[in-house]
Amino acid sequence: MSRKVRKEGYPSTRSELLGALHTKQYDEGWLSQDGLKAVSDDLNVPAAAVKGVATFYHMYHNEPMGRNVIQICTNVACMIMGAESLVDLLKKEYGLEPGGTTDDKRFTLVIMECIGACGTAPAMLVNDDFHENLDEKNIIEILNGYK
Amino acid sequence: MDTFLLKNINTPGSADISVYKKSGGYKSLKKALKMKPEDIIDEVKRAGLRGRGGAGFPTGMKWDFASRDKNFPKYLLCNADEGEPGTFKDRPILEKDPHLLIEGMAISAHALQAEQGYIYLRAEYPAAKKILEDAIDQAYEDGILGEGIMGSKTNFDLAVHRGAGAYICGEETALIESIEGKRGQPRLKPPFPVNVGAWGKPTIVNNVETLSNLPLIIEIGADAYSKIGNPDCPGPKLYSVSGFVNKPGVYELPMGTSLKDIIYDHCGGIKNGGNLKAVIPGGISTPILPPDKIDCQMDFVSLPKCGSMLGSGAVMVFDESVCLVKVAARAMYFFEHESCGKCTPCREGTGWLRNILERIENGLGRRGDVELILEVASNISGKTFCPLGDGAAGMVLSFIKHFSDEFDEHIENKKCSVN
């Protein structure tokens, strides 16, 4: 008989750490000291180890984010297709610097390494949504959809 | 040639198990479950399949090492951490044909007697996570995963493990550290993962594309498979092409298709009628090539003879509007950013190289900077645990080897000659 329920689970609870941090970040928008402490307590993993993991991986946010996180790739394939001018445009349009958040907390801008959209460059992720073949016109139209 | 790896991706509902089965899906698994594990490993060896993640290690040999280890349980890990800049070849399988990967993994699990598998998925592909998990749920419902798969005595459980944004986790021992819930820093080898891998157990790490070749090998057999493409390293290959071509994208072609055919026939030539200046054939870690090398065949055996490597098959095409000093500086920023920090030559060296490259690009280069780059790079190569440092050094050395005039011009004229 086949099992009808997907078996999650790892041989060690420590392996649940990356997922637990993703969940915490999804729920709270970022990983605060209190958030890290809660994960540490839940999984019985030392707080220092949790902090070590949270600061190693680039997609964990260790400071408060805006409501929408613009993750724009400027790696080579996107750079040669004009990603830098898009970053400049975001500065002009929203006063956004890389790593910065708008005063109204609407956007945070994160410069990404390759996001696997090189054939449809330049590209970005806004929160969990992929947007490809960007140009100076459509990027603003797309961002208008994020309040 | 007929496509195999990408044959389903344009079918509506291609990620659904019923659609996958309609096109013959899971027939190879049914066939494989009737074969002895050692016979499947032998078939993969005879097929000549080599790992598609970048290193090109013979898959059958890796499997043989793992199967000789009598320590159980064993783990099968799929490397879906496709992070090499320029690479987007696995994304169509992950997002459009997840059952091809699941079938490939189930066949592999049976051959390797691994009862638990994980797909290590990069966090940059959020859509793929849900698609894969839905497909895994369907496979469980259908008896393709779980206990006694397809009525056999083989058990196989599969789950998705999401990364969190670290290029280094594409390196197999860093990937294992990461799945154990740690910082993704590579381990010293030996011992190799096939003996001491995840949670100290024998672990086989294979790339998405590698595993997705298994249904084809079982379906047509090693003899027919080994006749596809270059007989020295046969099979279909996914090439992801970006940059200044008319039709960038992922192309499934026989292994060993020439760079020239890829760029000019399949991708429609250089964008806007421009001239080819340079091409990186296998992702940013592989040495750049000048236009006179484009007759080279894109495979594991031919590219080293032309001075580069196949890597992940990520072809990046540059026309004459591109400043290669700028490209090298941006690529080195990437390596600095992604160095895990474990080995000093890589951690410090990539930062210094980025610093020097940026000052050359910005018109602040000094005489002797090129020699300094060569010196720093030579102090990284071969002096690190994992290949990240080698990739960084090899990248900049190849730029200087083929395009030293451009570096010299920047330094002489104190400005970028292209931008």
Test A116 with B88 for CB contact under 8 angstroms: yes
Interatomic CA distance for residues B80 and B172, integer angstroms: 11
A 25-84 residues with CB < 8 A to B: 45, 49, 52-53, 56-60, 74-77, 79-81
Interatomic CA distance for residues B179 and A10, integer angstroms: 9
Do A37 and A96 lie in one domain? The reply is no
CATH match of B233-319 with 3.10.20.600: yes
Which residues in chain A are closer than 8 Å to B161, comparing Cβ atoms?
Answer: 15, 18-19
Query: In chain B, which residue's Cα lies nearest the Cα of A7?
Result: B157
Which residues in chain B are closer than 8 Å to A26, comparing Cβ atoms?
Answer: none
Q: H or E element: which one contains B358?
A: helix B344-361
Query: In chain A, which residue's Cα lies nearest the Cα of B184?
Result: A56
Interatomic CA distance for residues B176 and B79, integer angstroms: 10
Distance from CA of A94 to the nearest CA of B (A): 24
Interatomic CA distance for residues B112 and B121, integer angstroms: 21
Residue B311 structure tokens: 């890597």
A 115-134 residues with CB < 8 A to B: 115-121, 125, 128, 130
Do A108 and A45 lie in one domain? The reply is no
Interatomic CA distance for residues A8 and B17, integer angstroms: 21
Length of chain A in residues, anyone?
Answer: 147
Q: What is the pTM of this model?
A: 0.96
Last residue of one domain, picked from the residues A43, A64, A85 = A64
What residues make up the domain containing A60?
1-64
Confidence at residue A91, expressed as pLDDT on a 0 to 100 scale: 97
Confidence at residue B419, expressed as pLDDT on a 0 to 100 scale: 67
Distance from CA of B250 to the nearest CA of A (A): 8
Do A57 and A78 lie in one domain? The reply is no
Test B316 with A118 for CB contact under 8 angstroms: yes
A 92-111 residues with CB < 8 A to B: none
Residue A98 above 80 pLDDT?
yes
Which of helix, strand or coil describes residue A147?
coil
| B172: nearest Cα among B287, B300, B51, B282 | B51
- CATH number reported for the structural domain that contains residue A25 in this entry: 1.10.10.1590
Which residues in chain B are closer than 8 Å to A44, comparing Cβ atoms?
Answer: none
Interface test with B, best of A56, A69, A125 (most B CBs within 10 A): A56
Residue B356 structure tokens: 């020097």
8 A C-beta contact, residue B44 and residue B59: yes
Radius of gyration from C-alpha coordinates of chain A: 18
Q: Which CATH architecture has domain B324-413?
A: Up-down Bundle (1.20)
Test B330 with A12 for CB contact under 8 angstroms: no
Instruction: Name the band, by pLDDT with cuts 50, 70 and 90, for residue A4.
Output: very low
Domain B17-227, CATH: 3.40.50.11540
Tell me the Ramachandran region of residue B36: left when phi exceeds 0, alpha when psi lies from -120 to 50, beta otherwise. Answer: beta
Query: In chain A, which residue's Cα lies nearest the Cα of B201?
Result: A11
Once rounded to an integer, what is the mean pLDDT over residues A21-36?
A: 97
Dihedral over alpha carbons A26, A27, A30, A34 (to 10 degrees): -140
Domain count, chain A: 2
Do A39 and A82 lie in one domain? The reply is no
Which residues in chain B are closer than 8 Å to A25, comparing Cβ atoms?
Answer: none
Distance from CA of B127 to the nearest CA of A (A): 7
- CATH number reported for the structural domain that contains residue A82 in this entry: 3.40.30.10
Query: In chain A, which residue's Cα lies nearest the Cα of B84?
Result: A114
Test B164 with A60 for CB contact under 8 angstroms: yes
Tell me the Ramachandran region of residue B355: left when phi exceeds 0, alpha when psi lies from -120 to 50, beta otherwise. Answer: alpha
Instruction: Name the band, by pLDDT with cuts 50, 70 and 90, for residue A24.
Output: very high
- Each residue's pLDDT tens digit in chain B (419 positions)? 689 999 999 999 999 999 999 999 999 999 999 999 999 999 999 999 999 999 999 999 999 999 999 999 999 999 999 999 999 999 999 999 999 999 999 999 999 999 999 999 999 999 999 999 999 999 999 999 999 999 999 999 999 999 999 999 999 999 999 999 999 999 999 999 999 999 999 999 999 999 999 999 999 999 999 999 999 999 999 999 999 999 999 999 999 999 999 999 999 999 999 999 999 999 999 999 999 999 999 999 999 999 999 999 999 999 999 999 999 999 999 999 999 999 999 999 999 999 999 999 999 999 999 999 999 999 999 999 999 999 999 999 999 999 999 999 999 999 887 76
Confidence at residue B406, expressed as pLDDT on a 0 to 100 scale: 97
Query: In chain B, which residue's Cα lies nearest the Cα of A11?
Result: B199
Per residue in A48-90, pLDDT (tens digit) is 999 999 999 999 999 999 999 999 999 999 999 999 999 999 9
What sign does the CA torsion over A59, B56, B264, B323 have?
positive
Provide the residue type at B129 as one letter: K
Structural domain boundaries in chain B? 17-227, 233-319, 324-413
Confidence at residue A8, expressed as pLDDT on a 0 to 100 scale: 57
Test A17 with B181 for CB contact under 8 angstroms: yes
- % helix, strand, coil for chain A, step of 5: 45, 15, 45
Do A135 and A73 lie in one domain? The reply is yes
Test B327 with A14 for CB contact under 8 angstroms: no
Q: In Å, how far from its chain's centre is CA A114?
A: 13
Provide the residue type at B75 as one letter: Y
Confidence at residue A6, expressed as pLDDT on a 0 to 100 scale: 44
Q: What is the mean pLDDT of chain A?
A: 94
